[in-house]
Structure 1
Amino acid sequence: MRILVIGGYGTFGKRLVESLVNFYQYEIIVAGRSGEKLAKTKHYFSVSANTEIETAQLDVTSDDIKAKLSLIKPNLVINAAGPYQLQKGKCAYGVAKACIEYGCHYIDLADDSEFVTQFSEKLNQQARDAGVILVTGTSTIPALTDAVIRHYLTEFKTLQSVEYGISPGNHTERGKGTVGSILSYTGRPFETLSEGQWKSVFGWQDIKRYDFGSPIGKRWMSNCEIPDLKLLPAIYPQVETVRFQAGLELGILHIGLWVLSWLRRINLIKNLSRYAHQLLQMSYWFYRWGSDVGGMYLNLKGLDKNGKEKAIYWQLVAEKGTGPNVPTIAAELLVEKIQTGQLSAGARPCINLFSLEEFFQVARRWEIYQKEVNYES
């Protein structure tokens, strides 16, 4: 199978390509806008994996994507070129639409709420008519979130609350796309379900301290807008609260962004995303501090089969700077499922497409592990 990975030299795309090259027999083509980065990526895999990958220059916002696909002839396109907030409006779903027209399958690692939640409505019928598979949000959220919930769902008679968060280690590699994604909603209002009512909150506010325990420790956490805030209440209608937050390991960085969120909220700064490059570079001033340990927590609360209150506290832990591999695992699993004919044609978010066991069969490759911090009923 020929796989075109757009953004295959980025923080997550490069790691996904490494997995596809080292553990499978696929033909890989890495694409992106930068000819210099493509050349470096080609050399990197030639040296590190003794593999000659193909490269192609391609811009996800251009109007010639179908023509490019006709030249490259992929069976599957993986769009790992964020931020997906920029792939809306005039160029909305441009890569996915080109895949439908050309006749190949499509996966992306999108985390933008509007992009992911409207994906199926906009593209499902076209994808089914063309006989191709399109999957969005093939990343930690919503894909892993849903896998964890489904794993524990039978423990509950009624699942009432899902509260969770992610905090990377300060030594973890970060990219401009991820920073741009966070800045796009920092200080902006969005809705989340709280005790059965839709409530307006602001990005990177409602700051709190969360204790992961060893080896992660305590981290500051703040509100983030993600697709799950709309997807999970629709999938699990009994759930009354869905809350997601993210945090930076160093307090000076986290609280600094919290201050910027207030400047955006009161309109002193109109668009924080335009400063993504500068803020990314500034974050490296503090690289010597902190650790390479990151993680994710997910707290499920509700009633057990006897009607008693029940809570499950789950965590994922990624040490030694392996955190950026986590968002790529869902995509790797989906590639194999498409290759083996396990998915039907259509467009959908990455919900209920793999199990938690399947996820950690791959995650163990980097010694990424899960644990229940506490379990009570």
Structure 2
Amino acid sequence: MTARVLILGGRGRIGSSVAQDIATYTQAEIIITTRKPAAAIAVKESLGSQVEVLTLDLADIEVLRKAIASADLVVHSAGPFHYRDASVLKLCIEQGVNYLDVSDHPSFTRKALAYQSAAAEAGVTAIVNTGIFPGISNSMVREGVEQFDQAQRIHLSYIVSGSGGAGVTVMRTTFLGLQKPFEAWIDGQWQQVNPYSDREAIEFPKPYGRSHVYWFNMPEAFTLPEAFPTVKTVITKFGSRPDFYNHLTWIAAHWFPKPLMQKSSAIEFLAYVSHTMTDVTNHFSGIGVAIRSEVSGDKQGTQATYCSTLVHENTAIAAGCGTGSLAQFLLEGKLKKPGVWAVEQAVPTNLFHQAIASRGIKLHHEWL
């Protein structure tokens, strides 16, 4: 029988990119959900007969339960995940359905990981934080860690051009991430870090070159130390291109009154203004992404650093590749690990290499 994949939030930029990847690399039936079916017509037309559109509100638990029960795999892409609980994952466990999500916020990740034992007992493989960052970036780190006898330090940097090809939801996520300090694993202890602080120049591959990044609250900040216990420091930094967006974001993080940044109306205003601006600058900045992963540690008694970099011309499509490839492996039976996991815990490096090679994504490696 043909496998059925339910993509929650499938009409969004990220969700539709995931749907496109799954349609390209599998024969699965794809059901994308939306609260506004008319808006999904374009997605359905681009993907063809493999796709159905289902009108669904995540708040309607009974309709959601029925939709999940009819699927072989659920992909949760209905962000922003700051506002979500783990009810979708819970229903998947109850129904015995495998689960992926494109979540990108630590609070949601912790809620999902709390279902580890329940998913394991149900035989459900659930992988959180799939996509590009987090997602492919986590696998880049895992590959780096595996080069060492004892990995000790991880430095992850991301740079996105303009909107990255994503929608308003991603803009909301950025500003929601500025609301309060977060904990980072530094020198073997948890320390508070202010978002969008400690500007640092990082050398990315062309066309990015030397670009600036800042501390940003990502799930990797705590999943990587848990996955790799010998690591004493994990740095996660993010930046935008052109650079003036970094300065505007820094102002929002440090100059705007904190009570203002806690208001949903302010977040909505900033998200829509930012998206309008990037619609203009996308024409000359592009919508791509670059990732730089540096892992340092002990290799045969010598301290060394292993650096891997990746560039993709469209951030949303790259995210679709990250999630879509895991969906493909789950449907093909190549990936099975009951429980709830971050990508670096669930995906072997050999499968990661298969995923990116089949999608034409290239990594560059060097020892520093």
TM-score normalised by the chain length of structure 1 = 0.87
- Per mean C-alpha deviation after superposition, the further-off stretch among 54-63 and 136-145 is 136-145
Equivalent in 54, 70, 75 of residue 72 of structure 2: 75
Correspondences of 1:1-377 after superposition (within 5 Å): 1-46=3-48, 51-69=49-67, 73-87=70-84, 92-121=85-114, 123-170=115-162, 172-264=164-256, 266-271=258-263, 272-275=266-269, 276-306=271-301, 308-318=302-312, 321-341=313-333, 342-364=335-357, 367-372=360-365, 374-376=366-368
Distance 1:62 1:181, change over 3 A: farther
**Within 1, Cα distance between the matches of 2:52 and 2:83?**
26
> Does the CA-based 8 Å contact 2:179-2:262 persist in structure 1?
no
- Secondary structure of the residue aligned to 2:284 is coil
**Within 1, Cα distance between the matches of 2:185 and 2:339?**
28
- Per mean C-alpha deviation after superposition, the further-off stretch among 8-17 and 257-266 is 257-266
Quick one: percent identity of the two aligned structures? 20
**Within 1, Cα distance between the matches of 2:257 and 2:300?**
44
> Does the CA-based 8 Å contact 1:329-1:359 persist in structure 2?
no
> Does the CA-based 8 Å contact 1:187-1:263 persist in structure 2?
no
Question: How many angstroms does 1:204 deviate by?
Answer: 1.8
**Within 1, Cα distance between the matches of 2:179 and 2:64?**
37
**Within 1, Cα distance between the matches of 2:70 and 2:163?**
38
Distance 1:221 1:171, change over 3 A: same
The residue type paired with residue 323 of structure 2 is A
> Does the CA-based 8 Å contact 2:9-2:32 persist in structure 1?
yes
Distance 1:165 1:201, change over 3 A: same
**Within 2, Cα distance between the matches of 1:73 and 1:240?**
44
- Equivalent residue pairs, number: 362
> Does the CA-based 8 Å contact 1:264-1:270 persist in structure 2?
no
- Secondary structure of the residue aligned to 2:94 is helix
- Secondary structure of the residue aligned to 2:346 is coil
Distance 1:368 1:292, change over 3 A: farther
**Cα offsets for 1:222-255 (capped at 9, x unmatched):** 1111111111112222211111111111112121
Question: How many angstroms does 1:336 deviate by?
Answer: 3.0
**Within 2, Cα distance between the matches of 1:172 and 1:74?**
30
- Per mean C-alpha deviation after superposition, the further-off stretch among 358-367 and 215-224 is 358-367
Please report the RMSD computed on the Cα atoms of aligned residues, expressed in angstroms: 2.4
Question: How many angstroms does 1:155 deviate by?
Answer: 3.1
TM-score normalised by the chain length of structure 2 = 0.89
Q: Where does the alignment leave 5 or more consecutive residues of structure 2 unmatched?
A: none
Question: How many angstroms does 1:370 deviate by?
Answer: 1.0
> Does the CA-based 8 Å contact 1:322-1:368 persist in structure 2?
no
Deviation >6 Å, runs of 4+: none
- Secondary structure of the residue aligned to 2:268 is helix
**Cα offsets for 1:128-181 (capped at 9, x unmatched):** 444433222222344433422332334323211101111122373121221111
The residue type paired with residue 157 of structure 1 is D
Distance 1:266 1:26, change over 3 A: closer
The residue type paired with residue 30 of structure 1 is I
Question: How many angstroms does 1:36 deviate by?
Answer: 1.8
**Cα offsets for 1:98-126 (capped at 9, x unmatched):** 223333222111111121133232x2333
Question: How many angstroms does 1:290 deviate by?
Answer: 1.9
